[in-house]
């Protein structure tokens, strides 16, 4: 009997080694270790093993040691599907952005992920391509996956589409873009201030005919527009509706939108001598349009963007931009998310970070 066992084992081992030798994985990998396996080996119950794993206190030091040691050896990893089913938590958060290739949102994703990582949380990310319907679909998809928290930089024109989420028990955190009087947590910057900073800066550079390129979809764009108008009004510089370009079509490609919008603005008389763009990709497109028209930046037209995206300084003309502290936003959102897992659902919290202007060549001393 023993001989037979040995010989079978030997054959199996030989086969395995042969496969490894040829650089191939074994045809049948050993199935993952389960608590049951460890329990049986150590003559304990599954419950005890589970308790040790979760750091429960009513376990003797001796037992704990043995279990942990064995887990280490076998490289035990809990089956999260099983755990999810039992606990009702997925240890997963959803993050939806209009465009994950836009450096602002990918940077955001990176920092959120970093903030929740230590708590064993992973991010399921989706891109809505700046389309409200796709966003709704993705929200449903993530909700079906039972994400524990949903973080959304929303593309909904109004909060109606998010209403159904708010009605479920999954906590919802809006980031960057928000809706007034909508019962969800919010992490972002003061967009009106963003608009003020940018416009004020352009005025200080001597610009007088300041245009704005925004998007009709995004709340951020509206806030920035408000700040822009406010400062213009205060300066007596006059607000001209024709200097404001806000497209409503889904622009997950801000650069193209910015290019087209700037082309139109440049055709106006008097021609604008500055443009404030509601995000950096849009500003890139605008800069391209300006240079193509044979005009100089900032001498003929000064440009200010927003987001202070990673590659801003490598653009045609280094881009002045409003920094939104992307890293800060991500971290705050991540921390808030973790907090919401345990705390009872309190009233919506709003976290606002301060935007700051980073001056670069695209605007500095435009008129001098």
Partner DNA sequence: TTGAAAGCGCTACCAT
Partner DNA sequence: ATGGTAGCGCTTTCAA
Query: Rule CB under 7 A: which residues touch DNA?
Result: 31-32, 34-36, 43-48, 50-51, 53-54, 57-60, 62-63, 78-79, 82-83, 85-88
Separation CA 311–CA 251 (nearest Å): 20
DSSP 8-class letter at 184 = S
The distance of closest approach from Cβ of residue 173 to DNA in the complex, given in angstroms and rounded to an integer, is 24
Site for a second copy in 280-299 (CB under 8 A): 281, 284-285, 287-288
| 54 is an interface residue for a second copy by CB under 8 A | no
Which of 124, 237, 341, 359 is close enough to bind a second copy by CB under 8 A? 124
Residue 366 interface partner, choices a second copy, DNA, none, CB cut-off 5-8 Å depending on type = none
Separation CA 263–CA 47 (nearest Å): 69
Angle at 344 between CA 340 and CA 350, to 5 degrees: 50
- Rank residues 61 and 180 by Cβ distance to a second copy and give the closer one: 180
Picking from 348, 213, 206, 363, the residue whose alpha carbon sits closest to that of residue 285 is: 213
Query: What does the block give as tokens for 221?
Result: 């764009």
What character string, x for contact with a second copy (CB under 8 A) and - otherwise, covers 336-355? ---------x----------
For 136-154, letters b (16+ CB in 10 Å) and e give bebbeebeeeebbbbbbbb
Separation CA 346–CA 339 (nearest Å): 11
| 158 is an interface residue for a second copy by CB under 8 A | no
209, 268 in Cβ contact below 8 A? no
How many residues touch a second copy (CB under 8 A)?
61
- Rank residues 55 and 270 by Cβ distance to DNA and give the closer one: 55
DSSP bridge pairs for 277: 213
Picking from 210, 197, 177, the residue whose alpha carbon sits closest to that of residue 321 is: 197
Choices 44-52, 201-209, 279-287, 296-304; region in contact with a second copy by CB under 8 A: 279-287
> Which residues contact a second copy (rule: CB under 8 A)?
20, 23-29, 32, 77-82, 84-85, 90, 92, 100-101, 103, 106-107, 109-110, 113, 122-127, 140-146, 166-169, 181-183, 255, 281, 284-285, 287-288, 310-311, 313-317, 345
């Amino acid at each position: 009997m023993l001989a037979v066992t040995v010989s079978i084992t030997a054959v199996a081992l030989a086969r395995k080694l042969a496969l490894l030798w040829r650089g191939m994985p074994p045809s049948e990998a050993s199935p993952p270790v389960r608590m049951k396996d460890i329990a049986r080996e150590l003559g304990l119950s599954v419950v005890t093993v589970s308790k040790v794993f979760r750091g429960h206190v009513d376990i003797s030091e001796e037992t704990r040691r043995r279990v942990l040691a064995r887990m280490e050896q076998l490289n035990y990893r809990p089956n999260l599907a099983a755990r999810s089913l039992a606990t009702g938590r997925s240890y997963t958060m959803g993050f939806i952005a209009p465009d994950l290739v836009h450096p602002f949102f990918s940077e955001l994703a990176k920092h959120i992920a970093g903030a929740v990582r230590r708590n064993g949380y992973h991010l399921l990310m989706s891109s809505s391509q700046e389309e409200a319907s796709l966003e709704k679909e993705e929200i449903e998809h993530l909700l079906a996956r039972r994400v524990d928290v949903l973080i959304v930089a929303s593309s909904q024109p109004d909060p109606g589409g998010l209403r159904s989420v708010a009605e479920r028990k999954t906590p919802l955190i809006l980031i960057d873009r928000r809706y007034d009087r909508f019962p969800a947590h919010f992490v972002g910057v003061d967009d009106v201030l963003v608009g003020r900073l940018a416009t004020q800066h352009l005025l200080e550079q001597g610009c007088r005919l300041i245009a704005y390129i925004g998007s009709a979809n995004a709340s951020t764009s509206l806030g920035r527009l408000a700040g822009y108008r406010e400062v213009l009004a205060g300066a007596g510089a006059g607000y001209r509706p024709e200097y404001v370009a806000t497209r409503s079509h889904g622009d997950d490609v801000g650069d193209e939108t910015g290019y087209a919008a700037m082309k139109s603005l440049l055709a106006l008389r008097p021609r604008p001598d500055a443009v404030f763009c509601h995000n950096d990709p849009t500003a890139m497109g605008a800069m391209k349009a300006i240079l193509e028209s044979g005009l100089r930046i900032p001498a003929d037209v000064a440009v200010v963007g927003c987001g202070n995206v990673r590659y801003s300084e490598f653009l045609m003309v280094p881009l002045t931009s409003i920094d939104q502290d992307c890293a800060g936003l991500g971290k705050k959102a991540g921390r808030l998310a973790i907090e919401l897992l345990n705390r009872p659902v309190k009233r919506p919290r709003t976290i606002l970070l301060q935007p700051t202007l980073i001056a670069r060549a695209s605007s500095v001393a435009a008129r001098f």
